[in-house]
Chains A and B, each alone.
Chain A
């Protein structure tokens, strides 16, 4: 290959998803292969496992080199030694020879060993079962074509798509994200926005080469591979300005007033405790949306009542008396949860998701309600139900909440009923908002927009339709006006609230409570401060 052509600067156009500039080496994640690999031959399955074992060993060796402490190094050396021992994978290869797929063969082979350690009398040996589980999952990830979760920091990561769990496990620091799939409102984009990770979508990532130098321009939706020195200089400068501006924004505090002196509340959307680190509760008006589905994702077992309670409690303690609005599990749609959401829903966004799912899995829902009722005694908790379509659903939730409360009181536990509100994201609910016995309303603009326009937010070709249209604004005004008249609060917690260019339009509709990604606090507050009333 001609070295000069390979090194020539290359501009690749995508669509902007999260603004910002990132510079760094490209890291290309292997595309996820389909798990249905029955069509592969025995030799291919054998090869797949050999490759996965080798890849897992390489990844572990790199990790061990950077472990930094003896214990971590010892654990990793142990796992590497296991991988180097042919006896470990031998039963799996035997199963593959008998016609099993690599994935199932490896799981079965390791299951026997894990069980043997689980049964040990000695606690030290029992604990080794977790090493084997870790090893099992690492190899399975390689078999599934998912790269290791430990991505280097400061890199520009390119992939087909990225599960939220992987995004959350990565140290992004100055890095950026380039995806083929997804959209500005997909879930990983929400996370990227809240952490200020520049991101673009709609890029043909197959053409990208590992390790090449790149610039990611999240404002323009542009990826520049092998930038020349002039381009680099321009972007170095822009990045310096960006970090300066970000710093200035986070130091922006105190109540937010419009130019006409009207008070507006600005809260934050979070997915867990990690985002609250380094955030001063006195800089915000509370948590407007805590998405609990991330507590349920990417784990073997659903979180227990106690685990949930501890997280909710710490969140309320952080907020120090300011309101914390926790949304009950909003699984389904684009947020599947193993063992809970339905597989093969014909149209997941119009399927069994949000409250529809919770009301069909009462065991899981009751646990969450119990954890919430207990947390309500700690601070200023509000609980919000997602995807409510008809009044009956909210009424059922209220009854279940009261039952949970009674049971807790019978057990002698401290618990209380928090204000119970609803997300307004289904057009039917927005249109008949006066029918709902909700203590407050929070408009979920991401889903509302796609339901109003009948256009998926993840369909790149329909990005022009899945926009905040006049139809959407009319519904927002309808809800806000009703809430004002009824003496209840109405906020907006979708991405729309975090877009500085839409702030004036939302204030025009009467909206006075915004809940945004922490990264958008500065720009949104600035836009509110500029607002001088509706343009006549």
Chain B
């Protein structure tokens, strides 16, 4: 099976921080597919469902987040994750 890819610019003012990371990993876990996250198109890749790994990337504001997904719902997963990051993690609340 092919890996699907997507990328999105993260504008959240404090970067991929505690609250955004919680939201991102929770969303990723809602999908069955294996989902990786990286800060460059060639990786290194970390498990997007692991908050420990995601936080460890310490992605700052204005970094581009790359996703790759593999599985039955890979397309839906990527769409949802891109929407979340693009919508600034819905932090307006």
**Chain A residues at the B interface, C-beta cutoff of 8 Å:** 70, 74-75, 77-78, 81-82, 84-88, 113, 116, 120-122, 124-125, 128, 131
Contact = CB atoms under 8 A, between A and B. Distances in A.
Interface string B2-19: 000000000000110111
Contacts, number: 49
A124 B52 contact: no
A461 to B, nearest CB: 52
Contacts of B56: 113, 116
Nearest to B26: A81
Nearest to A82: B51
Q: Which 6 interchain pairs have the tightest Cβ spacing? A: A87-B52, A78-B18, A124-B14, A87-B50, A81-B51, A81-B22
A124 B15 CA distance: 9
Given A81-B26, A122-B60, A75 B50 contact: no
Most chain B CB within a 10 A radius of its CB, from A85, A113, A121: A85
Interface of B: 14-15, 17-19, 21-22, 25-26, 47, 50-53, 55-56, 58, 60, 93
Given A87-B47, A120-B58, A122-B58, A75 B52 contact: no
Nearest to A75: B18
A128 B58 CA distance: 11
A120 B51 CA distance: 17
B60 A78 contact: no
Nearest to A126: B58
A78 B20 CA distance: 10
B17 A124 contact: yes
A6 to B, nearest CB: 42
B53 A74 contact: no
B50 A85 contact: yes
Nearest to B50: A87
Contacts of A82: 51-52
A55 B22 CA distance: 21
B32 to A, nearest CB: 17
A84 B25 CA distance: 11
Contact of A125 (B17, B25, B93): B17
A122 B55 contact: no
Contact of B25 (A70, A81, A131): A81
Given A124-B14, A124-B15, A124-B17, A77 B22 contact: yes
